[in-house]
Structure 1
Amino acid sequence: MEGQVCCMVMRVNLDCNSCCKKMRRNILNMKEIEKHLIEKQENRVSVCGRFKPAEVAIKLRKKMKRRVEILEIEEVHYEAQKEAPTINHYKY
């Protein structure tokens, strides 16, 4: 897996149910995408995972043969959380 963890929102013209099914099938075939959300009414597609946003948008544009407009890209930074030592306060 390459790239960093990010979430991207795109605008794609999804006018019918078959377009949504085709988009879903294409997204599921991409190994780098972990989560997705397709909003047909707003013509929006949100994807999250470890990828480079431009590469995913280009792949979807080629497979869907439709214009893909990137609306928002959010990079997610995971901080390694150190476990605090557990202190038990019991009174006997």
Structure 2
Amino acid sequence: MDYRFYCMTLRMNIDCNGCYRRIRRALLQMQELESYQIDKKHGRVSVCGAFSPQDVAIKIRKRTNRRVEILEVREASPAGEGEGAGHMP
């Protein structure tokens, strides 16, 4: 399947370090993600990669057993193409 490169921001409850580790472990297992960033203080998770946004949100919800709310989805260019925007460290 031909997926486009997206950067997506999700809202999740990250109450403790155990929740943080569970979310991080789920993100590391997903091959379609190129980068991710977890903001524990604000309860936000940002992911970038070539994927279907709905599919990734469902996978994260199933693997973490936590509610996932999609806040923003924007199409970006992969690192190395164009201006290099969309790749988060």
The runs of 4+ residues in structure 1 deviating greater than 6 Å are: none
What's the RMSD between the two structures over aligned residues?
1.9
Residue of structure 2 in register with 1:11 after alignment: 11
- Separation in 2, partners of 1:63, 1:20: 13
Against the structure 1 CA distance between its residues 19 and 30, is the aligned structure 2 distance closer, same or farther, given a 3 Å change threshold? same
Residue of structure 2 in register with 1:53 after alignment: 53
Count of residues in Structure 1 that have an aligned counterpart in Structure 2: 81
- What code does the residue aligned with 2:58 have? I
TM-score normalized with structure 1 length: 0.81
Structure 2, unpaired ranges of 5+: 83-89
Indicate the percent of aligned positions where both proteins have the same amino acid. 49
Against the structure 1 CA distance between its residues 19 and 2, is the aligned structure 2 distance closer, same or farther, given a 3 Å change threshold? farther
- Separation in 1, partners of 2:55, 2:47: 13
Give, in angstroms, the shift of residue 2 of structure 1: 4.3
Give, in angstroms, the shift of residue 3 of structure 1: 1.0
- Separation in 2, partners of 1:53, 1:31: 14
Q: Which has the larger radius of gyration?
A: 1
- What code does the residue aligned with 2:42 have? E
Give, in angstroms, the shift of residue 76 of structure 1: 1.1
Structure 1, unpaired ranges of 5+: 82-92
